Amino acid sequence: MPSVRTRTGMKTLITGDVIGRWVVDHCISPGIPRLYMAYEFDDENTKALLTTLSLEGTEQLRREASVLRALAHPAVPELIDFGVSNEHGLAWMATKEFDAETLQDRLLAGPILWKEACALFHQLAKGLRHAHEHSIVHRDVSPVKILLDRKGHAQVVGFEAAMDESELSQLAEVQMGPLGYLAPEVITKGRRAGPRADLYALGVVLYEALTGRPAFPAALMDGRADPLERMLDWKARSEPLRPSGDLPDWLKNLVEKATHPDPSERLPDMDAFVGWLDAARGFWEPLARPERPVEADVAPPPIVMAAPSLGAPAHPLPDPVPVTRVMPLAYFTAASLGVALGVVFSIVVILVVELPALG
């Protein structure tokens, strides 16, 4: 058992800290909420991704845990544990191990190759589609909410702001997440964040992944106007995003259709985003990796159709007789000649032996 410790009154965890039944290994993302890799106190082989918020965010994290319980998809975290630590002043949630880095950190090294991006965003779009099929809107899709591991798997995390569509319908105004990824209709006062807002945000993130730069980098840098109004004005007047560079036209068109400022002109839903990538799969498939590890590369056993049992035989059955091949013409001719000579020989015997005896 490694050396571990518990610190009181701390809202930032470091390697070796114990919270609940988990020991912190290292920090993945220092954002809000913070993400850590951890392992179980009594079993180092049981690892988890730990999400923490201050105690003020307990209900928010509890809601996320409730959302994750309703979902089951490789691109969505699998809930393991949830708790509150007064010693650390934190609420925490443990999900199945996913040793990864955020897309935000990954992009520090530059844009992602487009084929790899297609494979990753195909997974992410299917994860969000799964959430939408359960009437759950993420509302906060951004590079810091996307995790990538070294095996080519991707997950969308950060469901602490997620809401059921029935809850959203009761709200007069919803504004969540970084402004650069919010759909224009969300920024507009009185509009709600529906599934197409998640679609818009994913398209903006895809644009950033392909180009290596944010789509709206300067909207918050203009201090002469309210950032929210400035962003709305910018997005409302902007054209749909279209990445430049050496990218296939169909991929540029996907980004463009996903990021149209008018939701009625946008792709209809996340299923359309997935379908677009499915239709072009032949172009990016060579770099696509499985969304979950293959269990085993073993052929399944053959299906045996059992006959009614008649009891065990007294002796082992003989090997089956092999099927005889069709004889060549020479063998057939020789066999025919042998038969003919046999008939002639029989006639001679009758004439020489049997007839005198009868006379």
155-167 pLDDT, tens digit per residue, is: 999 998 888 877 7
| Positive or negative torsion for Cα 280, 282, 283, 288 | positive
As a whole number of angstroms, the distance between CA 56 and CA 201 comes to 27
Average pLDDT of span 47-51: 94
Q: Which residues pair with 37 in a beta bridge?
A: 26, 49
Res 217: pLDDT:
77
C-beta neighbour count of 355 within 10 angstroms: 9
Nearest alpha carbon to residue 104 among 170, 31, 45: 31
**105-132: average pLDDT:** 97
CB atoms within 10 A of CB 128: 27
pLDDT tens profile 10-22: 588 999 999 999 9
Domain boundary assignment for the chain: 18-96, 101-287
Query: Does domain 18-96 match CATH 3.30.200.20?
Result: yes
- Of 85-89, 128-132, 143-147, 317-321, give the lowest mean pLDDT range: 317-321
What is the rounded average pLDDT of the residues 60-64?
91
pLDDT for position 349: 45
Residue 109 has pLDDT above 90, yes or no: yes
Angle made by CA atoms 166, 168, 173, in degrees to the nearest 5: 155
Q: Burial code of 37-48, b = ≥16 C-beta within 10 A, e = fewer?
A: bbbbbeeeebbb
Point out the least confidently predicted range of 70-74, 154-158, 238-242.
238-242
What is the structure's pLDDT at 221? 56
Three-point CA angle 282, 121, 80, nearest 5°: 125
> How does DSSP classify residue 57?
G
Residue-level pLDDT at 317: 36
User: What is the pLDDT confidence band of residue 171, given thresholds at 50, 70 and 90?
Assistant: low
State the average pLDDT over residues 113-136.
97
H/E stretch holding 204 reads: helix 195-211
Give Cα separations from 147 to 95, 123, 200, 352 (angstroms): 13, 11, 19, 104
pLDDT for residue 129: 98
Q: Which amino acid is at 63?
A: R
Q: What are the Cα distances from residue 86, in Å, to 36, 79, 91, 140, 285?
A: 18, 21, 8, 28, 48
Q: Residue 172 in contact with residue 77, Cβ under 8 Å?
A: no
Q: Is the pLDDT of residue 39 over 70?
A: yes
pLDDT digits (tens, 9 = 90+) for 260-312: 998 999 999 999 999 999 999 999 987 555 544 444 333 333 333 333 333 33
Buried b / exposed e across 239-276, counting CB within 10 Å, b at 16+? ebbebeeeeeeebbebbbbbbbbebeebbebbbbbbeb
Helix/strand/coil (H, E, C) string of 179-193? HHHCCHHHHCCCCCC
For the cut 70, the answer to whether the pLDDT of residue 172 exceeds it is: no
The pLDDT score that the predictor gives to residue 224 is 47
Quickly state the pLDDT bin for 169 (edges 50, 70, 90): low
Asked if 187 contacts 201 with a C-beta cutoff of 8 angstroms, the reply is: no
Q: How many Cβ atoms are within 10 Å of 20's Cβ, its own excluded?
A: 19
CATH ID of 101-287, from 1.10.8.100, 1.10.1200.10, 1.10.510.10, 1.20.1300.10? 1.10.510.10
pLDDT category, 122, cuts 50, 70, 90? Answer: very high
3-state secondary structure of 196: helix
Q: The pTM is what?
A: 0.73
Mean pLDDT of the chain: 79
pLDDT-derived band at 191 (thresholds 50, 70, 90) equals low
